[in-house]
């Protein structure tokens, strides 16, 4: 008998769009950042930037560097390990960050 999981992180969505989002995010090099909108555009759904955020909020795969995705104004946006950790990781990778904002490529 299979039991439903009732605690812990939600299982990541496995839709074609979610897979495309994860593939785009995998290509962001260390020290760089893209916006949620840019990721949505590259994944084929230019107006789905909020969906990108929802997909990445459930990411716990270390091979998908979701900390490299930021808001259009350069602010960090959400991160499932906390915004301070997101900025710390970006700075450690050499991303240009100033006043809590990250330069986007």
Question: Among residues 20, 25, 66, 69, which one is catalytic?
Answer: 66
> Token pair of 16, please?
């074609």
| Pairing status of strand 69-70 against strand 34-35 | parallel
Torsion 88-93-98-102 (CA) sign:
negative
Is the CA virtual torsion 77, 80, 83, 87 positive or negative? negative
For this structure, is 66 an active site residue? yes
Active-site positions read 66
């Amino acid at each position: 008998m299979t039991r439903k999981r009732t605690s812990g992180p939600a299982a990541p969505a496995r839709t074609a769009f979610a897979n495309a989002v994860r593939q785009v995010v995998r290509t962001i090099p260390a020290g760089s950042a893209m916006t949620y909108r840019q990721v949505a555009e590259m994944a084929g759904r230019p107006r789905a930037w909020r969906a990108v955020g929802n997909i990445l909020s459930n990411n716990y795969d270390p091979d998908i560097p979701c900390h490299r995705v930021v808001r259009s104004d350069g602010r960090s946006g959400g991160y499932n390990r906390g915004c301070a950790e997101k900025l710390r990781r970006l700075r450690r990778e050499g991303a240009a960050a100033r006043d809590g904002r990250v330069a986007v490529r």
